[in-house]
Structure 1
Amino acid sequence: MNLARYCLTSAAPDPGKSALEVVGPGVDLLETWKFADLTRQVLAVAAGLTASGLDQGDRILLRIGHSSDFPLLFFGAIAAGCVPIPTSSQLTAAETGLLLADSGARLVLHDGKTTLPDDTAITALGPDGIRDLKSATPAGFAETAPDDPAFLIYTSGTSGRPKGVLHAHRAAAARRPMDRGWYGMQRDDRLLHAGAFNWTYTLGAGLMDPWANGATSVVYDGPREPDVWPDLLTRSRATLFAAVPSLYRRILKYGEVTRRSFPDLRHGLTAGEALSVSLYQDWKTRSGRELYEALGMSEISTYLSSSPDVPVKPGSPGRPQAGRKVTLLRETDLRELGETVSFAEVEETGLLAVHRDEPGLMLGYWNNPQETEAAFRGDWFLTGDRARADADGYYWYEGRADDLMNAFGYRVAPEEVERVLAADGQVQEVAVTAVPARDGVSLITAFVVPQDPASFDEGRLAEHAARHLAEYKRPKVYRAVDSLPRTPSGKVKRTVLRQARSS
């Protein structure tokens, strides 16, 4: 099994059918890739990478912005048996350097616009090199096994340092429960995804799954003002739309949305953040369309969802998708390491867990067997999410069991942000957490104990954060405080800080 071959050929799509359309400002069609042309180009990239001396299993760091080169290089690397590492174009040189060092990547592919790590010893191919890869004579897909590494995603860890999530070639086929369990996908669908190519939400829901079903993926490359989306949905003839809840909220606030809007759209899809009841009801009332939510994570993709076959219960992300091995474990059993677990009863809050036999589950955390082992109790992988299940089998999200924050669909470790802020000389102590601002919206907030309150310069600290952190990780609110609330053992009480709503 080769993941790229599976996505591009498993549905036996019409070679002349549109697989990928990139639309720009004014909804102008910038690029159209038919399945035959897309497959040929992916195999050309694969041949070019192999000819350059890369071996199967070698890691490749992708520093590509919002361009069709991103999926071509991502799937081309997988087609060659290499392991691409998608990264956000917002990462700084220091952040990129950490990923490069940890992954041991042999090659960096970049577009000449994204920030590169300071390590000059690593081989890097820019626009000219990428052009040469795309000009290679196409070869075949590498013969890889289902459990061979396919791609590596970096996500925030509870230690505050990014950790690599390694997925196998079987991961794409393991997404099949989402086809009916979330999308209601059909071969003639046109799925518009609001995310950038380099986001794993887009790579999976926006590319892998439509192509594996022979459907068309539509991606927007233009200004991100919320009022452009209603017209974009209409003129792109999108039948499905995938975005994070915060974008739906902004579309409703700033865009023209009525029941006559975007006539081709059957329903919306959302993940990455919890969907509030008020937002769901507002969207359904004004658009007249359903909005189906899914809950997942980098380690397994989505596994709970509502869908055309699973009616929405507002406030719940839905039920386990057909065939998924999901349960709730009693938290009291998890305080001590061990193999024994028990299962939560109906309406009892527990820790969401996925069975190790689930084919969509990661191979493990890259180069970190201790953390991989610690993530399991017996045969169950601990997601870190708390939830309860009702008598109908619907799950109700109760928040994280750790301190990870959610910033517009990205999970961010407060310790990583705190380390950066603490390096500014005017900071004595700092604690970072997500503070509720209004219904369904939380803002990353930094509580700072200044060295000298009289001279504390919030703007200077924000500039320091901008130099060292991707935009989505930066605090949106800074608060100078006299001291931080702590437990008797000295641990910061983030729950107390979260009770102070942002102004």
Structure 2
Amino acid sequence: MQSVFDQGLPPPCPAPFNLAAHVLRHAEAVPEKIALSVLRLGGSEDWSYARLAQAVRGTGAGLLARGLRPGQILLMRLGNTVDFPIAYLGAMAVGLVPVPTSTQLTAPETQKMLDDLAPAAVLRDPEIPCADHPNQIRLVELAMMRDLPPCDWDMGDPERLAYIVYTSGTSGNPRAVAHAHRAIWARQMMIEGWYGLTSEDRLCHAGAFNWTYTLGTGLMDPWTIGATALIPEAGTEITHLPEILAAHRATIFAAAPGVYRRMLRGRNRLDLPHLRHGLSAGEKLSPDLHRQWVETTGTELHEAYGMSECSTFISSSPAHPARGAALGRPQVGRRIAILGADDKPVPQGEPGTIAIHRSDPGLMLGYLNAPEESAARIHGDWFLTGDQGAMAIDGEITYLGRNDDMMNAGGYRVSPVEVEAALAPYPGIEQVGATEIEVKPGTRVIVAFYSGPRPLSEVELSAYLEPRLARYKQPRAFVHLDTLPSGANGKLLRRALKAYYPQEADT
């Protein structure tokens, strides 16, 4: 048997369609139900479905009143507050195209995005770094829009552009990934295939409002089925999350593996009386961390695999827990294959490249302004993820690693080329290579290796990179070598760098 999972296609996305309208479709039926609680140890700020829908549709009306028109792009430079999802959905409600971005980006990094996107406006918190743009809509203006008469939903072709997210590429230049309105329709396959989510659940996500993992799993998916989303307020210490989860009766908890690791540190038991299970994504979950969570909480932890180009499509779930070290299985409705070098499915059990069928409703429209790069990812009927895996007889997929040099820092994919380009101009550096190092079981960090006449100050190197790279892209350690490993053609061998990392190094 070949490594192909195909149990039938999902129902087609209806037309006309609007992503934001779909997310808030329960607002009229349950107007007083709490849609969102922003959590703190001593209480919460609560948003009913009616209040949330009014804020979103009022924002949409306000953006149109500013002269913006459907199809135009908006760069979002807002902080970790409820303003972010309201503006995000408000833009899509009227057919505008928001681009969520990390607050950690520097002004020079946003300038590259402005050049790439040519946005009609920037939604801006003045405290968030951003390069200059002639049309900036300030946070205070956005807040005032919420009370305007609600906009009409911009209904249209589900294939039209809805939003753009950035992911780093092997070229070192972050790529703009364009998604259609239908992307939210595809996420219904996660409800049973990963979450086990019901309208009665209270799903808490530990991430920031402006992270795409939070926007999808933590907010839009619960709202789509009429559940309650719980988000800890900005600045909440991870060590306080167990008490917050218990106090606010969270039934499902979602986070990146690093958050679970810190929650468990120094604890033999976590009392989470309402929690049914946890969800993990953003980076690979180590078997040891998985085991610790189960032993400490008495609840299961379900992992998902995905990417910016297609969100998550392989996962374990309450109905189908992962077996052993496997990731899980493709969600019902997905068509997944493991392909060999000839772009054909390999026999079950053999390794190959994880691929998703090009017809998947969650797959991106393409990379913005990069048709050749978009086409290069499609091989016949399949979109190649660039990651390796093996499929068992029952469809379970084991993740075998990336087949490129991409790094993962706290759930963000980071290109080593981008890190190397930022560090290379520093005086005293002749050559630089960056890679991801597992410094202890389940903990991976970015390390920069460099050659030059003599070792350089790590403090000064870190200070040099601070204004040039977002925090999550910055190396946590620097290693001086006489020469960096290279192949016969003189090309840097990044994968060989790991062998040069000193085991006694303290990161």
Q: TM-score, normalised by structure 2?
A: 0.94
What aligned pairs does 1:42-441 form with structure 2 within 5 A after superposition? 42-117=56-131, 119-120=132-133, 122-255=134-267, 257-258=269-270, 261-330=271-340, 332-333=341-342, 341-441=343-443
Amino acid corresponding to residue 489 of structure 2 in structure 1: S
Secondary structure in 2 aligned to 1:420? helix
Secondary structure in 2 aligned to 1:388? strand
Amino acid corresponding to residue 76 of structure 2 in structure 1: L
Structure 1 position 154, deviation (Å): 0.6
The 3 A distance-change label for structure 1 pair 500 and 390 is: farther
Alpha-carbon distance in 2 for matches of 1:440, 1:392:
27
Secondary structure in 1 aligned to 2:467? helix
**Equivalent pair of 1:300/1:362 in contact (CA under 8 Å):** yes
**Does 2:41 match 1:40?**
no
Alpha-carbon distance in 1 for matches of 2:95, 2:266:
45
Alpha-carbon distance in 2 for matches of 1:300, 1:165:
10
Deviation digits for residues 361-417 of structure 1, max 9, x if unmatched?
011101110100001101110111110112221101011111110101000000001
Alpha-carbon distance in 2 for matches of 1:295, 1:13:
33
Alpha-carbon distance in 1 for matches of 2:266, 2:129:
32
More displaced stretch, 222-231 vs 106-115: 222-231
The 3 A distance-change label for structure 1 pair 223 and 255 is: farther
Secondary structure in 2 aligned to 1:140? coil
Secondary structure in 2 aligned to 1:94? helix
Alpha-carbon distance in 2 for matches of 1:305, 1:405:
21
Alpha-carbon distance in 2 for matches of 1:128, 1:312:
46
**Equivalent pair of 1:11/1:213 in contact (CA under 8 Å):** no
Structure 1 position 27, deviation (Å): 4.2
**Equivalent pair of 2:305/2:327 in contact (CA under 8 Å):** yes
**Equivalent pair of 2:189/2:331 in contact (CA under 8 Å):** yes
**Equivalent pair of 2:80/2:234 in contact (CA under 8 Å):** no
Secondary structure in 2 aligned to 1:308? coil
Amino acid corresponding to residue 169 of structure 1 in structure 2: H
Secondary structure in 2 aligned to 1:113? coil
Q: Which residue of 2 aligns with 1:336?
A: none
Amino acid corresponding to residue 161 of structure 1 in structure 2: N
Secondary structure in 2 aligned to 1:246? helix
Structure 1 position 209, deviation (Å): 0.5
Query: How high is the sequence identity, in percent, across the aligned residues?
Result: 44
Amino acid corresponding to residue 409 of structure 1 in structure 2: G
**Runs of 5+ consecutive residues of structure 2 not aligned to the other structure:** 1-16
**Equivalent pair of 1:385/1:401 in contact (CA under 8 Å):** yes
Secondary structure in 2 aligned to 1:478? strand
Alpha-carbon distance in 2 for matches of 1:379, 1:10:
36
Amino acid corresponding to residue 82 of structure 1 in structure 2: L
**Does 2:497 match 1:497?**
yes
Structure 1 position 257, deviation (Å): 3.0
Amino acid corresponding to residue 250 of structure 1 in structure 2: R
Structure 1 position 13, deviation (Å): 4.4
Structure 1 position 316, deviation (Å): 1.5
Secondary structure in 1 aligned to 2:451? strand
Q: Which residue of 2 aligns with 1:338?
A: none
Structure 1 position 11, deviation (Å): 8.2
What aligned pairs does 1:17-36 form with structure 2 within 5 A after superposition? 17-24=33-40, 26-29=41-44, 31-36=45-50
Q: Which residue of 2 aligns with 1:337?
A: none
Deviation digits for residues 43-66 of structure 1, max 9, x if unmatched?
000001111111111000111111
Amino acid corresponding to residue 295 of structure 1 in structure 2: Y
The 3 A distance-change label for structure 1 pair 186 and 361 is: same
**Equivalent pair of 1:59/1:106 in contact (CA under 8 Å):** yes
Q: Which residue of 2 aligns with 1:487?
A: 487
Alpha-carbon distance in 1 for matches of 2:479, 2:373:
34
Alpha-carbon distance in 2 for matches of 1:210, 1:160:
35
Q: Which residue of 1 aligns with 2:30?
A: 14
Amino acid corresponding to residue 454 of structure 2 in structure 1: P
Alpha-carbon distance in 2 for matches of 1:271, 1:59:
28
Secondary structure in 1 aligned to 2:204? strand
Q: TM-score, normalised by structure 1?
A: 0.94
Structure 1 position 126, deviation (Å): 1.5
Deviation digits for residues 462-493 of structure 1, max 9, x if unmatched?
11111111100000010111111001112211
**Runs of 5+ consecutive residues of structure 1 not aligned to the other structure:** 334-340
Amino acid corresponding to residue 466 of structure 1 in structure 2: E
Alpha-carbon distance in 1 for matches of 2:366, 2:67:
27
Amino acid corresponding to residue 109 of structure 1 in structure 2: L
What aligned pairs does 1:458-473 form with structure 2 within 5 A after superposition? 458-473=458-473
More displaced stretch, 421-430 vs 368-377: 421-430
Alpha-carbon distance in 2 for matches of 1:89, 1:498:
30
Alpha-carbon distance in 2 for matches of 1:85, 1:74:
8
Bigger relative contact order, structure 1 or 2 (CA pairs below 8 A, ≥6 apart): 2
Amino acid corresponding to residue 21 of structure 2 in structure 1: R
The 3 A distance-change label for structure 1 pair 23 and 397 is: same
